[in-house]
Structure 1
């Protein structure tokens, strides 16, 4: 059975929970208490030497990093969730990079600052968030999904921390296309929410 080592407050864990739910994949959630540093325990470090969640196991396979896990689930179980043609797949992977870099260093970082007290330049993180949201809003002017004519793992990768923008004290009021896209994602069969989502 698939097992997901999970922290309930993590947007990166949420994107994996969301994908598992959409794909209707039976799985077991194994809670990891980040505040108690369970992710740094010797047992957990056997799964992920970097000491971070999420981690997914599927039989003998052990995968870390939410983007890699989404790619795996899309490739193995996802059908149209990950295009197989080279250009289309590459465009989806571009958004996985956006999620891991631009979203992580802006909205996700600001959220951790406000929820967990992590020290950072909050003004810079929020400015990066607005720059990202302006770019995404423009991109979504003429399309329903981030790439292609249907949702892909790109949408799942980028969704959580944007939907959690309120926790980062970043308003989405000026980004109507982004807000409309968030609502589309919420209408996908199997969608699951989490605390703090708009």
Structure 2
């Protein structure tokens, strides 16, 4: 198993984190994003979208961090993806939330603020605060995002929220979120967040 990865990417970190949590090993292949390696023909042959992460397992590439989490859970760690139809729908909803609202809010704020990329920092931070508030409220009376145990929903949403301060957002007003961060960090196999 190979993971095509960039160390500072929160989406790549999701996959590394989940591999650690489920005790799976993967050869990590560094993709030099600043040098444009993801747009070169040899990488595009693996993922025509030109994005990381990409997991290659049994000679089959799986692109997109959310899709990779689903694949890994179904193939190697089914307890992380509930079988109940309603709970599966809730997990899918959080995966979509991670790819949309979390990406447009805390993740975009981090990229603009930390990496000095062009973009609307104030708009991303405003969306980021909405995301932090929503997830904090959701966690007010539950331990995990879906059901009574951690799932890939938690893995998908966690990274960019935990790194929100790198986008100029404060986490102090969100005690339920901070308690959830601590629960995730206490899981066996947890890997530290990437820091610049």
Query: Normalization by structure 1: what TM-score?
Result: 0.96
1:120-154 per-position Cα deviation (integer Å, ceiling 9, x unaligned): 11111000011111111111010000010000000
User: What is the distance in 2 between the residues matched to 1:133 and 1:163?
Assistant: 10
Aligned 8 A contact 1:111 1:167 in 2: yes
Which 4+ runs in 1 deviate beyond 2 A?
194-197
1:26-84 per-residue CA deviation (whole Å, 9 max, x = no partner) reads 21000011100100110000011110000000012110000000000111111210001
Match in the other structure for 2:84:
85
Corresponding residue number in structure 2 for 1:112? 111
Mapped contact 1:39–1:53 kept (Cα < 8 A): yes
Matched, 1:35 2:40: no
1:125 aligns with 2:142: no
SS at match of 2:98: helix
Instruction: Give the alignment of 1:44-59 within 5 angstroms.
Output: 44-59=43-58
Shift of 1:194: 2.7
The 1-side partners of 2:24 and 2:188 are apart by 13
Residue 119 (structure 1) shift: 1.0
| Local SS of the residue matching 1:35 | helix
Structure 2 SS opposite 1:150: coil
In the alignment, structure 1 segments of 5+ residues that lack a partner are none
Q: Distance in 1 between matches of 2:194 and 2:66?
A: 21
Residue pairs, 1:1-198, within 5 angstroms: 2-196=1-195
8 Å contact kept, 1:108–1:168: yes
Q: Tell me how many residue pairs correspond in the alignment.
A: 196
CA distance in 1, matches of 2:88, 2:21: 20
TM-score (structure 2 length as normaliser): 0.97
Deviation at 1:85, TM superposition (A): 1.6
Deviation at 1:117, TM superposition (A): 1.7
